[in-house]
Structures are given as structure tokens and as C-alpha cells.
Amino acid sequence: MSFKEKLTVLLLLIVVQLSFGQIKGKIVDASDNSPLEFATVALFNSEDGTAINGVITEADGAFYFANIKTGTYYIEASFLGYTTLKIKSIVVSKKGVLVDLATVKLTMGNELNEVIVKGEKATVVHKIDRQVFDTKKYQSSEGGNAVDIIKNLPSVSVDGQGAISVRGSQGFAVLINGKPTQGDASAILAQLPANALQSVELITAPSAKYDPEGKGGILNIITKKGATDGVYAQVNVRGGFPSIEPYDTKVDAQRYGIDATVNKRNDKWNLSFGASYQRNDKSGRREGDMFIVNDAENKTTFLPSDGERSFDEITYNGRFNVVFTPNDADTYSLGLFAGKHTKDRLADIVYYDNHAVSPIGSDNRIYTLQYYNHNLRIRKGDFALGSFDYTHKFKNESKIAASILYEYTFLGGPTVNDNLGYPDNNIIYQEEYNTNDNPLYGTRINLDY
């Protein structure tokens, strides 16, 4: 390239450079004027808000925009933890002059945007010696009792008569908030409303702190307590639709209930009160045709039958717990849980006229009998559990805990069995009344260091 051509190119570059503008400045901290390296500076067109360019500041906080067309602009300067600053009405004239914004000061932000992290709590948490189940995951059990919760747990089964087994064994223990109980497991769990449960712990490998009577494991029922300071209240109401099949019962099945929990907590006191009433009837009917062959007496007994077989179940209870923490070292706790549970099984069966005794292989009847059997079995499960606990924590992190526990349980109830004439119930063939009352009183004193 000749000298003339080089001179022409140089003049063109100077003309192009002069036809555009430049913008520069420096970003510093407003508190101490220290330069902010890696701050972000963005340039926008004031007319339509379109982004023109963006740069990052140097080590001394300086920034520079080159080849900016004439017009009006604004910039936004930002840095992590600082409030974004907007500088308006930056004019780049036709003369191509350099616009110097000098020092741009950013102020440390005093408000951060809220960050909400949401997560789903696992249904079951596996620990070394136990599995912990979150009862909130069993929405279908709301309005029921603790039995409706635990029958959904693995390794736990409930048969048609309400008997509960853990890993195939009925030799398991029940704890309520870590407190042992000695009564019948089915009766105790039937008195706990499902809405009052926070979690259920299935302890499959009990440590030495637990008594060894739970050969099949231990179920520890954890009830709800206040988690934060303030007042908390919860009321649940349940109602059932009429039976799809009434089974011609004397009284329609009733299914309804209500339970309530109130909790108040502050820095020293945690008070919790609750009550529950549940009615859960089940209608049923028995239609059967049985026969018994007696070779020794050469006769066959036919037992056709038809009648009502229903269950009426009523549970009501109350509970309270008071925890007093006067300081960081001492904790006092007083609790009481008491309830009554009644389950009536009614079987009103008619053994109608072809209830007969005949020789084997013959239709000739030796005699026939028609009668009405009234059988009412009442099973009660009254339960009361009171406890007082004291815990003291020493400065060397060791701890001493004392506990006094008293329990009363009443199991049993009468059975009425009457064989009467049919259709004339005034004829009495047999009247029978049996009862089996089994009260239990227990006191336990425990001291741990």
C-alpha cells in the first residue's frame, strides 16, 4: 500500500471515530469509595428501552463504552449485595465527545429478596433402630382413630376382629409419647383420634432403655404439640353417609365424630388440651346353612339361620399435657390421657323351621325346632395414663431424668345370650349372662442418668 493510500485510511478512521461518542465512569462503594471490581454496567436507549451494550468493571472500578451513536441513553449499575443505580439522560452529541460520568457510587442494599424453599417431607424416615411414619400422609384416616393409621403401615396388620399384630406377632408394646402402657393395644389405640397424631415410630430393634416385653417390636405414638410460640387450635368434624345396604337392622348405623386440640406456648410454658368423641357403627347380616353329621348317633343336624349381626362402637377421651421450662437446665412435665371405649356386637339370629335333626342319609325328620337367638357381647376398654417427669441438664452436658407413671385399664364386659321362641319371643328356652372384668393398676418409677 502506498503512502497516499495509508494516509487516506487513517483519515477515514479518524472521521469514523469522531462521528461516534464514548461513555466512561468508575463504580465505587458509597461508604468508603473503594472501587468495585466485576460490577455490571448496562447501557440502554432512552427512547425504546432496548439494551445497547453491557460491560464489567475493571480492578479499579472503571468502565468504558466505545462507538456509541448520537442519542440519549441511560445506564444501570449493579453489584451483588448493592442497590441497583439508574443514571438517566446521558446525551451523546454529534461532535463525538467523551461523556465522563466520573464516580458512580453504589449503596449496600438493606433488603434482600425473600427466598422460599419448599420441600415434601418423606412419608417414612429410616433410623438405626426404628422407622418413623408421618401421619399427615395418610389423609384417608382423618376422622378415624390410631388403628386406622397403623393398619396402613408395613409390618402391621389388623384382622377382622380388630386384633393387631406387628411382624406377625401380637406380643408388642405400645408407648404414648415415649411413656409405656400395659393395657390391651387394640383398646388403647382405638381411643386415640387420628387427627391428634403427629407421627408413629415402629421400633423394631429396641435399645436397653426400653422394657423387653415388646417381643414383636414397639409402637411409639407421638401426639401433636405446639411447635412455635402462640396459640394453636384445631377442630375436626366427621360425618358418615347412610349405609348403602341397611341389612334390615333394628337401628340404623351411626357414623360421626368430633375432636379438638388447643395448644398455647411461650418461652416457659407449653400447654396442650384435647378431647374427642367418635361413633363408628357397622351394619351386617348373617345368612348361613350349616349341618353337623354325628356318626355315633346316626343323625344329621341342619342349622339354617338368618339375622342381624352388627357392631356399635363408641369412643370418647380427653387429654392434656403441661410442660414448664423455667431455665435452660430444668424441665417439668405433667400429662394425663383418659378415655372410654365400648364395642357392642349384636347377633339376633333366627334359626327357622327347617332347623331339623334327621337320620344320616334320610330326609325323615326326627324333630324340628325354630327359635330366636339374641346374643349381645359388650367389650369395654377404659384407660387412664398419668405421668410426671423431671429432667435436669448439668453444665458438663450430662443429664438426669426422673419419671413417675400411673396407669389404670379396665378390659372386659358382659355377654348376654338368650334362646327364645319364634315368632313368640315370650317363650324362654335358655337365658345366659356371663361377664369377664379385668382391671389393671400399674405404677412405674424410673430414674436415668
Cell numbers of 154, please? 408395613
pLDDT at 261: 86
43-54: average pLDDT = 91
- To the question of domain 3-106 being in CATH 3.40.50.1100, the answer is no
408-425: average pLDDT = 92
For the chain, helix, strand, coil in percent to 5 are 10, 55, 35
Q: Which amino acid is at 392?
A: H
Task: State the architecture of 120-224 in CATH terms.
Answer: Beta Complex (2.170)
Q: Which amino acid is at 237?
A: V
Q: Is the pLDDT of residue 116 over 70?
A: yes
Q: What values do phi and psi take at 97, rounded to 5?
A: -75, 165
CB–CB of 272/262 below 8 Å? yes
Q: Is the pLDDT of residue 266 over 80?
A: yes
pTM: 0.57
Distance CA 323, CA 330 (A): 11
CB–CB of 46/73 below 8 Å? yes
pLDDT tens string 293-316: 888 888 777 778 899 999 999 999
Q: Where are the domains of the chain?
A: 3-106, 120-224, 226-449
What does DSSP assign to residue 242? P
pLDDT at 63: 94
**Contacting residues for 121 by C-beta, under 8 A, at least 6 apart:** 134, 136
Q: Is the pLDDT of residue 161 over 70?
A: no
pLDDT at 330: 94
pLDDT tens string 327-367: 989 999 999 999 999 999 999 999 876 555 667 777 777 66
Distance CA 24, CA 384 (A): 82
Q: Is the pLDDT of residue 185 over 50?
A: yes
Closest CA to 332 of 347, 322, 344, 319: 322
Q: Is the pLDDT of residue 268 over 80?
A: yes
Answer with the residue of higher pLDDT: 210 or 410. 410
